[in-house]
Structure 1
Amino acid sequence: MAQEVVATFAGPLDSFSINLTIGNGSSAQVQSVGLSGRTAKFPVTWDSMGTFAGPATLTSTVGVESEVVIANFSGFAPGEQVSFTGIDPDFTGAASAGVRVLDLAGARAYALFSDGTTAFGEFEATTAGTLRAVMTK
């Protein structure tokens, strides 16, 4: 079985509603998940990470108002899922333009695990009309 964390921006791809789910399919706790908007189809700045929900505790969010944001967690155990709803990314240098889900294609993600290992992935469109990044440990 693959040791992975899967991050998904819900569709449809032409939606301006930006929501992210992160599932921990590894055997270790996830300490942090980072998102880089620098490599997105059109680079984005994470203006707001919206509302957090899930069984883990969000201890901090670092990098809001920049192209790289890191969410730090406590208790993000294997088999659990967390979500951010109402994320507000802006195109870097053009804050008034609306970002769609598809515009986030190519953004990169990483997970830092409690055992000190890391995993990386890139958001790609799926046949289900979402963007998905698989970070394999």
Structure 2
Amino acid sequence: MAEEVVATFAGPLNSFAINLTLNNASSSVVQSVGISGRTAKFPVTWDSMGTFAGPATLTSTVGVDTEVVIANFSGFGPGEQVSFSGIDPDFTGAPSAGVRVLDMAGARAFAQFADGTTAFGEFEATTAGALRAILSK
């Protein structure tokens, strides 16, 4: 099994509907995933992380209303998928402007695993019209 987490903001790229899917494609339990809006094409502040769904438990979300948000999990095991729907990012310094999926290109992300290792990646546009980051150890 590859040692990575695949994070995807579903498209289309011009959509204002911001939804995130996290796939644990590693052999380790994921403890947390963080995303930095500072490095996005247009820096964003995470106003809300929306609604969480999946087999893992979301134990906390740290950094809402800042440029770096971290979601902490319990039981996010290998081969599992979780999602956040209805995320509300705002452009940093301009909260009344709408953020599209493509505006978050370049955002960097990390995953921390229960074994103490960390994986990193950056969101890039795909040919399928989504933004994807492969967080590799």
Structure 1 residue identity aligned to 2:76: F
- What are the within-5 Å matches in structure 2 for residues 107-118 of structure 1? 107-118=107-118
| Runs of 5+ unmatched residues, structure 2 | none
SS of aligned partner of 1:94: coil
Q: Aligned partners of 2:112, 2:23: CA distance in 1, in Å?
A: 13
Q: Aligned partners of 1:61, 1:3: CA distance in 2, in Å?
A: 24
- CA displacement at 1:2 relative to structure 2: 2.3
**Aligned residue pairs, count:** 137
2:102 aligned residue: 102
Percent identity (aligned): 84
Which aligned runs of 4 or more in structure 1 are off by greater than 2 angstroms?
Answer: none
2:51 aligned residue: 51
SS of aligned partner of 1:38: helix
1:33 aligned residue: 33
- CA displacement at 1:128 relative to structure 2: 0.3
2:131 aligned residue: 131
TM-score by length of 1: 0.99
Structure 1 residue identity aligned to 2:107: A
TM-score by length of 2: 0.99
2:74 aligned residue: 74
